[in-house]
Amino acid sequence: MNYTIKSAVKTKDRPSQYGTFTDYMLIVTNEQNEEKAAELSQKQSTPAPVIGSTIIGTIEESPYGPKFKKERPAFAGAGVAPRDPETQRYIMRQNALTASINRGICKAQELCKFAKDKKEVQKILDQELSGKHLIQVAGLLAKFSEGRINVALTPDEVIQVMGFDVEPVENKLQDAPQAPTSDVTVLDGLDAPPIIL
């Protein structure tokens, strides 16, 4: 309920386990212009009530007299304000780059297990963790996140979408099982488009 503050007198400061609180004796009027008196307790850091201002809350009876309980603002989730489109795109690109780096590290670790010597390990690291390659993969992931691509891409499609060439997947995974021939892969009973990076 909305009340208008007619009088606000500080009565005391008191310590508590949550910090110092200040008590005020208020005289307020409701929307029907009825006057009521109640005690308001709030943290000392909270601005003092201002005569003539509106305060929202309820007056509740207690063993020590009427107490004014302020209405707390509605909780709006995690306090996240809507972001402008450019900020959203920046966050999407940042997340895509992080995912690209994580993917590159995992893939490089897996491929290095089968490397024959240090030279082959270095070649794998140079190929999978080069800045250019990571940014290219991040670009694909960002486009997927934006909904601009949603299926596995052939090398020709990558050139069309991204404007750069990639080594065909079969050259990188010589002994890997064949990719499914349909355009949908079933994962845990859910239909999901395949993504080949």
Model confidence pLDDT, tens digit, residues 11-28: 999 998 989 999 999 999
State whether 93 and 18 are in the same domain. no
Q: What is the pTM of this model?
A: 0.40
One-letter amino acid of 24: Y
Q: Residue 75 falls within a domain, yes or no? A: no
Please determine, for residue 60, whether its predicted confidence score (pLDDT) is greater than 80: yes
- Give the count of domains, the chain: 2
- Residue 190 resides in a domain: no
What is the per-residue pLDDT for 165?
A: 54
Average pLDDT over residues 92-121: 89
| Paired sense of beta strands 2-16 and 19-29, if any | antiparallel
Q: Dump pLDDT digits (tens) for 145-170.
A: 887 776 666 777 666 655 555 554 44
- DSSP, collapsed to helix, strand or coil, labels residue 108 as helix
113: in domain: yes
Question: Looking at the structure, do residues 61 and 131 belong to the same domain, yes or no?
Answer: no
Host domain of residue 109: 85-173
Separation in Å, CA 30 to CA 1, 55, 69, 99? 8, 10, 14, 56
Q: 95 and 26 in one domain?
A: no
Same domain (yes/no): 63, 91: no
How does residue 178 score in pLDDT terms, banded at 50, 70 and 90?
Answer: very low
